[in-house]
Each structure stands twice: as structure tokens, then as C-alpha cells.
Amino acid sequence: MKLLLISNSTNSGETYLSWPRQFIAEFLKKHKVKSVLFVPYAGVNLSSDGLTASYDEYEKKVKHVFEQLGFGLSSIHHHEDAIAAVEKAECVVVGGGNTFHLVGKMQETGIMDAIQKKAKNNMPFIGWSAGANIACPRLCTTNDMPIYQPESFDCMGLVPFQINPHYIEVNPVGHGGETRQQRIEEFLAINREVTVVGLRESSLLEMDKDKLVLKGSKDMRIFRCGQTPKEIVSGTDVSFLL
């Protein structure tokens, strides 16, 4: 498969999709993609007047970046037949936001299965944050609140492990709740055979055929039940996770 699984879209103080632009451009050029199909269903951000931002606004924001990089982009919400749109797509790109809403809408439209089938047949796939989560077997290691009820927690299973995007090991000063590591350890106490990858911001996983590599400026942390978390240096071949 050809996957680009990105922890986050934007770092503090940067323009939108600034840090991963080079990786996105290189990935699309390498796989000879000219235009992508965008899935905006994770987008439920509130505007200043308290109304949910439209999919049109999300599409516009992402399209601006992709056009600057030299690639066309259209959003799936414009297509009357969403499954047919996936079947015709050169590449599918799934943006971040709320993972529960994203999974629910993808299941309802039938595109979860359609994208899974295409990706497993070598269609390039890019996802950031929630869009990276759905490449995993289940959505259970998202950081998001369950604001929407999906049909199930099942996702595409393009990789056999779980991703926790935006991973951070330090709690804010004065915060008395669980750390992210403790949350992951809770998950592993119930799902003892699962591997969880803590994907820090400014990092991504790129898969090409049967090779998986950690890229970006941050290291990654691997969690397994009953084992000390393992740090992985950026640039490392992590195909053993497959």
C-alpha cells in the first residue's frame, strides 16, 4: 500500500499544513498523482457566530494548499454518488477534526469500505490526525470526544496497529488528570494484544509497499501491554510494526 499517515496538520504559529507540505508533495509526485479526492467529514469546527463550519469552507482551506503544491482537489461532499467518486479517485485525502463524526459519516455513506478496498489495491492515501486514525483497525485511540455515534468503532485496518496522534508525554502545568501515556495504558489493559504508536506532532508514517518509515522532526513512542514504552528515532524503518 501507499500511505502517508500524519500526526497533525499545523503547528502553533505556522500557516495551515505548513510542516507536512514537503512530504505531501513528494508523496503525490512519487506516485504520479495529479488530483486528489478530499474527505471533510471530520470537520465540525465552530465559526465566530457559533455555527458549524461548512464542508465548503474546509475544502477551500485544504484546496488552497494543494493547488499551491500543484495538485487539483475536489471534495467528496459535492458528489451525488460518493462511492463512485472513490472508485474513480487517483488518491484519497482525509482531513483532521473529530474522529467519531468522521467515522460515522464514512460508514453512513459507505466510503469507509470503498476507500479501504482501493487503498489495499495500491491507491495512494493521505490522512492527518483523525484521517490517520481511520487507517487503523479501530478508532479507539483517538483523543476526541464521542460527539457522534458511528455504527461501530471499526475503521479500515490499513495498518495492524493503533495510532495516537498529537501524542505528548507531559501534562500542562497544574493539570491533575491522566497523562496521555496513562490513557494509552488503560486501553492496553483491555486490549492486551494491540500495539499503539504515539505519533508526536511534526511526525508521520510513510508506507510504500511493505516498507514503513517514520519521518518528520520528532521521535515516536511504541506502547505494548506489560512493556516499557520504546522510543523510535525519526528516519527509522519501522516495518516490524507490520
All structural domains of the chain with their residue ranges: 2-157+203-214
Residue showing cell 460518493 = 82
Task: Please check whether residue 91 is in contact with residue 121, taking contact to mean a CB–CB distance below 8 angstroms.
Answer: no
Q: What pLDDT shows up at residue 49?
A: 56
Chain length of the chain: 242
Question: Could you tell me which of 204, 216, 215, 1 has the C-alpha nearest to residue 91?
Answer: 1
**Which residue has cell 508514517?**
205
Using the Cα atoms of residue 119, residue 154, residue 16 and residue 87 in order, give the sign of their dihedral: positive
| Cβ–Cβ under 8 Å, residues 38 and 93 | yes
Of 3.40.50.1100, 1.20.120.530, 3.40.50.880, 3.30.70.3280, the CATH number of 2-157+203-214 is 3.40.50.880
Q: Which of 79, 154, 166, 219 is catalytic?
A: 166
Contacts of 223 (CB under 8 A, 6+ apart): 181, 184, 185, 188, 195, 196, 197, 198, 229
Tell me the HSE value of 26 on the side-chain side, using a 13 A CA sphere.
Answer: 8
pLDDT at 54 (0 to 100): 85
Is there a catalytic annotation at residue 208? no
Catalytic residue check, 166? yes
Whole-angstrom Cα distance, residue 41 to residue 237? 32
3-state secondary structure of 85: helix
What is the full per-residue pLDDT of the chain (242 aa) written as tens digits?
999 999 999 999 999 999 999 999 999 999 999 999 999 999 987 565 555 568 999 999 999 999 999 999 999 999 999 999 999 999 999 999 999 999 999 999 999 999 999 999 999 999 999 999 999 999 999 999 999 999 999 999 999 999 999 999 877 777 777 889 999 999 999 999 999 999 999 999 999 999 999 999 999 999 999 999 999 999 999 999 99
Which residue among the candidates 75, 77, 101, 144 is catalytic per the annotation?
A: 144
Note if 154 is an active site residue.
no
